[in-house]
């Protein structure tokens, strides 16, 4: 899946504390913004899930037992592609490739370790940039099919 050439025509930025109670706010905010593209119910559900997984990673892993800021940027391109960037300034990921493996988790044993796998399956492109001690950016791209 090569890079989608994108010229962005609209964007929204949201910043909030990494309280787990803000996870649904993040999902609904991104979904509301993306709604201008008239996505299917399924596309919207996939976008909400991608955001949910990325924000949960910030809450559970990046900031562990502290509160930090989560930043989300949602961009819409002229080709109906959506780019969602979820960024934290938490502890970062030592080895991104290992972290992206199904079932890998640094959380407690009740964590499935499927976050990146789910994000990858619902997006057309997923990139993870991280530096230990400096934080992580998860960039997800998804094309919304034009209907009618």
> Catalytic residue positions?
53, 57, 111
- Quick one: tokens of 99? 């972290």
> Got the DSSP string for 31-57?
HHHHGGG---HHHHHHHHHHHHHHHHH
Phi, psi of 13 (to 5 degrees): -125, 130
**Spatial separation of the C-alpha atoms in residues 136 and 145, rounded to whole Å:** 29
Q: Is the dihedral of CA 8, 14, 20, 23 positive or negative?
A: negative
């Amino acid at each position: 899946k090569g890079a989608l050439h994108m010229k962005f025509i609209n964007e929204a930025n949201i910043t909030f504390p990494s309280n787990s109670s803000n996870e649904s706010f993040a999902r609904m905010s991104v979904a509301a913004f993306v709604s201008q593209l008239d996505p299917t119910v399924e596309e919207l559900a996939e976008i909400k899930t991608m955001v949910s997984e990325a924000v949960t990673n910030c809450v559970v892993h990046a900031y562990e037992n502290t509160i930090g800021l989560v930043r989300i940027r949602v961009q819409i391109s002229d080709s109906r592609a959506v780019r969602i960037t979820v960024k934290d300034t938490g502890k970062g990921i030592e080895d991104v490739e290992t972290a992206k493996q199904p079932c890998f988790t640094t959380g407690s044993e009740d964590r499935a370790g499927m976050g990146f796998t789910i994000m990858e399956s619902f997006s057309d492109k997923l990139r993870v940039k991280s530096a230990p001690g400096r934080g992580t950016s998860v960039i997800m791209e998804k094309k919304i099919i034009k209907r009618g």
